[in-house]
Each structure stands twice: as structure tokens, then as C-alpha cells.
Amino acid sequence: MPIWIKVFGLRPHWFHRRFLYHIASLIGKPLKLDEATTEIDNPVVARICVEINVLEKFQLEVPIQIDGRTHYFKIQYEGIPNYCKICRHRGHDMASCFA
């Protein structure tokens, strides 16, 4: 399912589609960039829409090699619905599953 993620820890010169899609591809399948991100209104946070597998664990940080150094980018997920891995239904989490 498509979900918006925010990427923190970027520098202004990293704000181009190819680099942002590279980060997003470690989370899932990149779909599109937020308009404000495309126009670099706010070169601190990038917003990217990503197709993710909700059954997988959400990564809160992704490591990227840049010029021989590893940079860690914090990832924030927007609007993840509760998803129950037991009965595979949305709307409640595993702790409140009665299946």
C-alpha cells in the first residue's frame, strides 16, 4: 500500500530525485515526491510516497554510503493504519486481536 514517508538528515545538495528515490527504495517502491520536496521549499525534510509491504517491519533509519562514509537518515511514516499480522486485517493491532 502507498504511504508517505519523511526523510530527515538530508543536506540541500542531496535534494534530487535520483538520490531521494535511492533512499526510498530501501523502504519500498518509490512512487512520487511531494511537490514541496520537488521545489525544494524545505531542504531539511523530504516527503516521498512509497509503496510498502505493511507486513514487514518498518525501518526507522536507513544507512546510505556517500563518498565512502555511512550516513543515517531517519524515516518517519505518515498515517500507517493499524495492521494486524495475526488475522491480516486492518483496524486493530495484534494486542487487540480476537481472532
| Shortest Cβ 43–Zn ion spacing (Å) | 41
For residue 89, which amino acid is it? H
Per-residue binding string, Zn ion, 74-93, x by CB under 5 A, is: ----------x-xx------
Q: Which is nearer to Zn ion, 40 or 86 (CB)?
A: 86
For residue 9, which amino acid is it? G
The whole-angstrom separation of Cα 76 and Cα 5 is 6
Q: State phi, psi for 2 to the nearest 5 degrees.
A: -75, 135
Q: Which is nearer to Zn ion, 36 or 87 (CB)?
A: 87
Rg, Å, the chain Cα set: 15
Q: Which is nearer to Zn ion, 36 or 86 (CB)?
A: 86
The whole-angstrom separation of Cα 36 and Cα 45 is 10
Q: Which is nearer to Zn ion, 1 or 97 (CB)?
A: 97
Q: How many residues bind Zn ion (CB under 5 A)?
A: 5
H-helix segments, the chain: 17-24, 35-38
> Does residue number 54 form part of the binding site for Zn ion (CB under 5 A)?
no
Give residues in contact with Zn ion (CB under 5 A).
Answer: 84, 86-87, 97, 99
